Amino acid sequence: MAVQWTNEWGTVRVFDRVVAVVAGRAAASCYGLVGMAARSPLKDGIAGLFSRDHPERGVEVRTEDGELVVDLHVVVGYGTKISEVAHNVQQHVRYTLQERLGLDVDRVNVYVDDVRIAEGEGDSNIGRQDVVR
C-alpha cells in the first residue's frame, strides 16, 4: 500500500515502508524510549532480527477508512513515566510525518511491549546479593 496524492505537476506516491522508516526514526529519538519491539518475525522480516539499523522495526502503517494510522511497538526505559513517553512519541511522530512527508496522520497508536533498564543506568547493586558475616 501507499499514500498517494496528485497535484498540478503529477502524482506523488509514498510507500508504507518510507512512512514506517520516518516514523521509526522519529520515535527512536524520543526521550525514554530504549528501542523498538519486533512485531513478529514475519512482519518485521528476517533481516530485522539480525540488524540493529532497522528503523521500521516495530512500526506498522495502514489506512483505515481513507485515514493514515501508524502503530508503534516500543520498549521504554525503566523509571520513566510511561504515559508521558507514549504521549511524546505520539506527538513527535505525528509532527515529523507532517513536516517531512506532508502527511496528515489520523492516529498514532503506541504499544509498550517491554520495559528495560537502559545500559549504564539504574542501581549498581541490582542482581547482587549482600553478604552478611
5 has pLDDT over 90: no
Residue 58 contacts residue 36 (beta carbons within 8 Å) = yes
Show me where the domains of the chain are located: 13-58+66-116
11 has pLDDT over 90: yes
How many whole angstroms separate alpha carbon 36 and alpha carbon 108? Answer: 15
Q: According to the model, what pLDDT value does residue 81 have?
A: 96
Q: What is the DSSP annotation of 41-67?
A: HHHHHHHHHH-S--TTTTEEEEEETTE
- 14-24 burial, b at 16+ Cβ within 10 Å, e below that, comes to bebebbbbbbb
> Regarding the domain delimited by 13-58+66-116, which CATH topology (the fold level of the hierarchy) does it fall under?
Alpha-Beta Plaits (3.30.70)
Q: According to the model, what pLDDT value does residue 33 have?
A: 93
pLDDT bin (cut points 50, 70, 90) of residue 4 is confident
Residue 130 contacts residue 30 (beta carbons within 8 Å) = no
How many whole angstroms separate alpha carbon 18 and alpha carbon 21? Answer: 5
